[in-house]
A and B are shown apart, each in its own frame.
Chain A
């Protein structure tokens, strides 16, 4: 018999306690990672320090991490909106693709429009594209009782194939020697960089949208209804909350936010549409949303953490020749320990008394 047992807490842990749990989980996962480095023959202390230097240790590294965190943050913000209602939108990847497609369509069709007109139009189209890709599974769920996890996941593949179809076909740059890419966007269609940094103005979009989502859930009636319905669907229906309409709403919002990320990636970072724009931000977003327990500010922190991890692993490869798969391993360990640590916010261990 175990010398202890698990007891439910009367009250879930408060902010300080939760913070301590997450922090310890992170430390545990990093210790485990260091141990793996050691097993692989890399000096673990040096390895971990290279990892952090590479991710956050210099101005360049920090900028790179923030830059990479931007699309992850927006996708994650999107899935978090749906997760609040316990609607499992796994389709941020596809919604991201549709956003990029929508924005590209405007950018290629009206390249000469002035910037203050073109960029908003691209954003609107990106949100429409992403939102539409969220709307379809929501309607299918309502009308045909399909499972949104499966439908959103499968629609990712459809979206990627649609993107391929466009860049290999009608949108292909005639001067690209047959390589799959659209022409470069015009100057007006590109979101610029902030001052002398390499970070683009997408960071400002993130801050504003994060704030909007926070306000939406904190202060609006619909936001409250979503949270309440998410906590208990049957009670919400009984209270007369329009659950089905809320499902549609969160899926569209969720898709629109991922679509916005697609717009930023196409406009600010790649400056065109090409298949390699899809690097799995939509899936990373799910990890980030869970790590952050769906809170917008925490999503920001978690996004920078995971983005930094990806950036730092490159330095680890370059300086110490650690295999690239190591990044994925650390990411998995962090998610595992943090989720496992979640046990402690609602439960505690009690020592058995000796009889």
Chain B
């Protein structure tokens, strides 16, 4: 049985006097124990909302969540606030995007790590501090004894993210959700943080849901990849398969828009046309159709269904033929 089973998860934001906004539209995916699964897409595709819905961190008012999120067989969405509080930090950990704003500026690092241990493992403060020191050491923060007493502003960006990872993994959760953990960091630090995460989840046997817009992160880390567009999964496959043969025009476009070091000088990038519309309707045709180079008439009339093609899930009427080079060049 999968560790995490997300089925038909939908999140609709409804504000008084405004049109309901469908942020996540029937997303399903599984995470096996110890597996790393990527959720990939542009900003606004619903990947962060998906993670917050799993963690139970969406506002109680104004967000309507449907579907099931089964963790070890229990539907997290049906748990009470108190039961969910007991699980967050113990069974599920989360690492956020901006390490500076995600740490409390007026509380020493040590306490921010040890408070999770005090809460979920019932450790007294002293014991939790010793464990916190070990954790900081484990995530590669030098001189952890000194750092325990320091405040977030005294740490570098990379070290802050290491501290956040230590917090998320303090109680050895079986599932870690990382929401763009490297986006706010320097490129050199990004690589360090990614290899640290890879190492830690392997050592601890933690399953990882990696949320990113960066296919480079996916390539280095994920076993399975879900590509999201407009709140729906448009393509799902194992990593090698997806990179070798992207079939959905959106996936294809994402891969084609990555600058490559081995490109000829003067060669143009091929970005995806346009940008994500505010409220993408899947009710009439494919939401990606307006930006899609492969769009047919049927694409704007009939919503494509999810099809299983030899271990690959695809939601497209006119997928990219394997081997097609980057779509037509668009002058930048």
Q: Do chains A and B stick together as partners?
A: no
Q: Which residues of B pack against A, CB within 8 Å?
A: none
Q: Which residues of A pack against B, CB within 8 Å?
A: none
